[in-house]
Structure 1
């Protein structure tokens, strides 16, 4: 094993140990991120560090660890663990296969960007940032980096899945993949880029299964029941914590419940998005990649319209629309931070669990 591989193995071990330490400090019923044998978990993390198209999984695992770490009540312990987390995150983001690599920046457009926005939150409001994005624009990476900069929690569809599962929100858990459908590959890893539309017909159920689901969901279709379940969770979280949430129609949900928030939409030119998913996700056929992105956009328009009555991606529905090709991932984060008039050392940016 080379020195580089030894260093990555050591880093994977530190990530496992950090998760173990957070769980030990919390004694939480929410469980751990890594539940298998230590050697197997470290080996899987080591493998993900080598594969670019697995970087988003590692990103979400780190987000889950940091989200739970910020709930530790002892300030000294929380600070100590978050220092370890920051060190690990820095090393992970510096890897060639990091989720932060493969930027969307267009240097020509970057020269034209400008800022003219203001924050809207009072001291008594939690900082909630809702981000909608087109696939391939780097929106998830921007959301995660923004949350980490502010030292607040980050939630996307996969993390919502985990939160709901761990809270046992439903006895027989059902996955909701929204406008970005997933697909299980030959390696049994769930991934984006499925060719199955978000509104694809569900497999036929037996009469017994239908009756059980009708009773359990009070007559609602599973997808609707899960949407309302997530809506309740988002509103409940908004009363307790600061966070960044990706998609989930969170902007419309919070608006309908009169909960202050900032709504951001991130996109980039189709050509830039195609280039990025070919680079980051390993897509080889440009025409297929373009067709996929066009289809995912249509699916997301349909999903958002169905549950909110709004038009997804229309500027009038958002506080800020960002062309990530004009700023890149870090530049987009910096832009949002300037809008918030925080510099990473401000109140939301402290290590004190993002509390106001």
Structure 2
């Protein structure tokens, strides 16, 4: 009975998300198109499954962020407020579901009492608020980043969103053809095996660059454009190094947690046993490190490269967000 009730809730929320996307598109009239382009029934089933399949919660989070990012560009104050209110209500309803993103917390209770957070000066009001978050897998970094962006009312960008935005903006150049390979490379720093003919064809198409390198440089241009034009939070993608090299003001944050705590978090979130979780985390850490260091020449996770390095296990998700807000001096600021 309980499972059937949950399924009804998933379906109801999926319909609300689908309708919100359509309404945002109608009001905005965006040339980029809707977030959901499939038929209603198929989309509702997919969204319901994303809510049901907890390890894919980050995909649902990305879809929601795309809609809210678009809604925040609506010029009419009343329409923007109306649609953002509906978005907030949907998000609150999703957060009440069992084990949805942000529900499986990460915290070391024995060390909580030892934590102090120092207040920092607010960044210049002449600059956009741009937050770059790097994180180790299993530290709840994505949950922290998404909730922080929503709390500050700024746009949120992660690998799935960059994938979709690049596809839309660069479609006429055929810059991104294979979503699965692109996502795998961006997340894990792995290049797929291709024939010599395919590689030569891509080198010619991208002016001597491989497709993966061309995607990185296109993404770098997009990150710089976003940082110059809007308030936003960017997860990963070497954004801190990219903005640093382009002399664009930003706040860089590295989130991690002790390996044993991350193991337990991954076991809880992904339903893995300890052996699987250990293997998964070592693989992800290795691939994140390889990707970051290959494209930046900097050491991934080196404290000197960030404005703030934080052990999320010392605070948990909510308190980590509060600590970051103290750094930003943004406790009472809401960006609409």
TM-score for the superposition, normalised by structure 1: 0.88
Higher share in helix: 2
Q: What residue in structure 2 maps to residue 203 of structure 1?
A: 193
What displacement does 1:57 show? 1.4
For residues 110 and 37 of structure 1, what CA distance do their matches in structure 2 show? 48
- 1:244–1:283 Cα change, 3 Å: same
Indicate conservation of the 8 Å contact 1:126/1:241, yes or no. Answer: yes
Residue-pair matches, total: 329
Post-superposition Cα deviations, 1:251-274, rounded to whole Å, max 9, x if no partner, equal: 111111111100000001111111
Secondary structure of 1:252's aligned partner: helix
Indicate conservation of the 8 Å contact 1:132/1:264, yes or no. Answer: yes
Structure 1 range deviating more: 165-174 or 270-279: 165-174
For residues 97 and 272 of structure 1, what CA distance do their matches in structure 2 show? 18
Q: What residue in structure 2 maps to residue 338 of structure 1?
A: 326
What displacement does 1:109 show? 1.8
Query: What are the equivalent positions in structure 2 for 1:242-257 lying under 5 Å apart?
Result: 242-257=231-246
Indicate conservation of the 8 Å contact 1:179/1:300, yes or no. Answer: no
Indicate conservation of the 8 Å contact 1:176/1:226, yes or no. Answer: no
Indicate conservation of the 8 Å contact 2:24/2:83, yes or no. Answer: yes
For residues 128 and 44 of structure 1, what CA distance do their matches in structure 2 show? 32
Indicate conservation of the 8 Å contact 2:159/2:187, yes or no. Answer: no
Q: What residue in structure 2 maps to residue 309 of structure 1?
A: 297
What displacement does 1:120 show? 5.1
For residues 100 and 313 of structure 1, what CA distance do their matches in structure 2 show? 23
Query: What are the equivalent positions in structure 2 for 1:22-171 lying under 5 Å apart?
Result: 22-119=24-121, 121-168=123-170, 170-171=173-174
Which residue of the other structure, out of 9, 12, 28, is the alignment partner of 1:10?
12
Post-superposition Cα deviations, 1:100-133, rounded to whole Å, max 9, x if no partner, equal: 1111111112211111252452111000000000
For residues 46 and 294 of structure 1, what CA distance do their matches in structure 2 show? 31
- 1:287–1:8 Cα change, 3 Å: closer
Secondary structure of 2:105's aligned partner: coil
What displacement does 1:333 show? 0.8
What displacement does 1:341 show? 1.3
What displacement does 1:9 show? 2.0
Q: Are 2:335 and 1:350 aligned?
A: yes
For residues 88 and 206 of structure 2, what CA distance do their matches in structure 1 show? 42
- 1:120–1:215 Cα change, 3 Å: farther
- 1:133–1:309 Cα change, 3 Å: same
Mark the runs of 5 or more structure 2 residues left unpaired by the alignment: none
What do you get for the CA RMSD once the two structures are aligned? Answer: 1.7
Indicate conservation of the 8 Å contact 1:113/1:327, yes or no. Answer: yes
- 1:20–1:5 Cα change, 3 Å: same
Indicate conservation of the 8 Å contact 2:139/2:262, yes or no. Answer: yes
Q: What residue in structure 1 maps to residue 268 of structure 2?
A: 279
For residues 199 and 49 of structure 1, what CA distance do their matches in structure 2 show? 28
Which residue of the other structure, out of 222, 229, 238, is the alignment partner of 1:233?
222
Indicate conservation of the 8 Å contact 2:127/2:249, yes or no. Answer: yes
What displacement does 1:309 show? 1.2
What displacement does 1:54 show? 2.2
Indicate conservation of the 8 Å contact 2:119/2:329, yes or no. Answer: no
TM-score for the superposition, normalised by structure 2: 0.93
